[in-house]
Amino acid sequence: MAGLDTSTIVLFDVDGTLTAPRLKIEPKMEEFLQLLKTKVTVGLVGGSDLAKIKQQMGEDVLERFTYVFSENGLVSHVNGDLVEKMSISKHLGEETIQKFINFALKKMSEITLPCKRGTFIEFRNGLINVCPVGRSCSQAERDQFGEYDAQHHVREKLVQDFKQEFPDAGLSFVIGGQISMDVFPSGWDKTYSLKSVQKAGYQKIYFFGDKTAPGGNDHEIFADPRTIGHTVTSPDDTMQQLKDIFFTQG
């Protein structure tokens, strides 16, 4: 078997790409990623904060993967070390942040859903996460909202409301995961992670994600000319595409 190709890195979204939404990585995927690491460098670019990525990928995720970019790449760990952490509060200022949060809570209060739970706004280092159903919902309630949203486009409509209300605030609004949206300064999307990767001199940068359509939080990095983007529908699909690219006899 050929050795490690040091000129190639494969970056992955987490939710819906390496794991089912908000669930732990399955042993077969973990085993496969360890095999992939014998061929290329592997990195993660998740929308969640590091604590949630650890819940899904394991507490030792920083030791197992060379690059771990959390919060859409705004918090960067390389070889286990924190190398950068952007601050949305410093960038936007308290007035703009409160104006947005107040508007978002008002719009969500006008929506009736199959259920609502708690934590509708989650403030992170590099973004604000907006969740109409509430992040404290159970897995069954999460799935229920996912089905309801696919039918009624709840998040899509909220994004349009945000864009209309804040056209000149320099903010991006994207749908991520199964139940929420991310709000961040324009340019603070997953492509932000590419500057660390490029600095390391990789010539080929693959990216795999499930929310690659316009409006999804994988779209910008998927469509970026610096990456070779791949759309996946599930962890099993991710694995199959990787097998076709890196493990076929040729």
- Rounded to 10°, the helix 154-165/139-152 angle is 70
Q: Which of 15, 149, 182, 218 is catalytic?
A: 15
Q: Which of 5, 13, 224, 244 is catalytic?
A: 13
For the question of residue 13 being annotated catalytic, the response is yes
Q: Of 26, 31, 22, 57, whose CA–CA distance to 43 is shortest?
A: 57
Q: What is the DSSP letter of 169?
A: S
Q: Of 49, 78, 73, whose CA–CA distance to 63 is shortest?
A: 78
Pairing of strands 75-78, 81-85: antiparallel
Number of residues written out for the chain: 250
Q: Could you tell me the end-to-end alpha-carbon distance of the chain, in angstroms, rounded to an integer?
A: 13
For the question of residue 15 being annotated catalytic, the response is yes
Integer-rounded Cα Rg, in Å, for the chain is 18
Beta-carbon contacts of residue 53 (< 8 Å; ≥ 6 apart): 14, 44, 46, 61, 68, 70
Q: Which long-range contacts (CB under 8 A, 24 or more apart) does 220-227 make?
A: 220/189, 220/190, 220/191, 221/11, 221/45, 221/73, 221/189, 221/190, 221/191, 221/193, 221/194, 224/191, 224/194, 226/191, 226/194, 226/198, 227/11, 227/194
| CA angle in degrees (0–180, nearest 5) for 58-64-69 | 80
Q: Point out the residues that are catalytic.
A: 13, 15
